Amino acid sequence: MLKNIHIVLIGLALFILLQTFLDTVFAVFATIVIMLSWIAFNIFFIKHSLFIKSICRIQTKEKIVFLSFDDGPCDQFTPVILDILKRNNVKALFFCIGQHAKAYPHLVHRISDEGHLIGNHTYSHNWKNAFKPSSIIEAETNHANNILFEITGSKPDLFRPPFGITNPSIAKMLKGSGMHSIGWDIRSFDTISKDSQKLIRRISEKLRPGSIILLHDNREITSRILNELIQTIQNKGYKIVSLADV
């Protein structure tokens, strides 16, 4: 994770380097373009941890992996996913959207009662909020936390930025919240995938010790492939565990 001073120093070093090849005006212009492009690129890639230290993979040699589900709870598919997890004795991490938790408190209760971890995924999951002042992000996050607290009796200490977008405003909010940012190192793309077997292969071929897998419990295809995915992961010698156990 880089601080603002680090970014300034990187920009200065880049300018000095470019100035050896270009005149001052072009060196300044090139530095600005490269730095802005680099920052924009990192905003959308949580695993780079440019602004926020996000846990995207647990450092271990043990063949363990973690399932995480975003964007629920969903009355249509979350119960199916919970049934499959229970049948396979697998615990997962659910990043709940506050307004969905408010709509389906019984599902939040069930997630908690069945031993799964619950994380904060903001109240509205609006990508535009990521580019608003930290006070707006803080209000969104606190609203979701309060709803989850009312339902479960505890506030989440895990946070996943919607769409994996990170920036200084989100970093400021997190610093004051005491929550930890959780990313992923395997993105399933179950939000756009249409081919069940291709989706399973995509995930299983990327497995490595400590992988955190990103799935969504509001997608039909995820509920359809989950049982086979669990079996495939286990057949490769991996154990699916809860982040609470590490």
pLDDT of residue 33: 63
pLDDT of residue 53: 86
User: 234 and 206 in contact (C-beta within 8 Å)?
Assistant: no
Whether the pLDDT of residue 223 is over 90: the answer is: yes
Give the phi and the psi of residue 90 in degrees, each rounded to 5. Answer: -115, 135
Residue 55 corresponds to which amino acid? I
> Which string of b and e fits 125-134 if b means at least 16 CB within 10 Å?
beeebbeeeb
| 2-13 pLDDT, tens digit each | 455 555 455 455
Whether the pLDDT of residue 18 is over 90: the answer is: no
pLDDT of residue 30: 57
Nearest to 211 by CA among 2, 52, 62: 62
Residue 66, by phi and psi: left (phi above 0), alpha (psi -120 to 50) or beta? beta
Burial class (CB in 10 A: 0-12, 13-18, 19+), 183: buried
Pairing verdict, β 212-216 and 158-159: unpaired
Residue % of the chain over a pLDDT of 90 = 66
pLDDT of residue 175: 87
Residue 16 corresponds to which amino acid? I
pLDDT of residue 15: 43
- List the structure tokens of 49: 């941890």
Give the phi and the psi of residue 202 in degrees, each rounded to 5. Answer: -55, -45
Predicted confidence band at 87 (pLDDT cuts at 50, 70, 90)?
very high
Nearest to 93 by CA among 231, 228, 226, 215: 215
Least confident piece of the model among 22-36, 57-71, 92-106, 150-164: 22-36
Whether the pLDDT of residue 92 is over 70: the answer is: yes
Whether the pLDDT of residue 66 is over 80: the answer is: yes
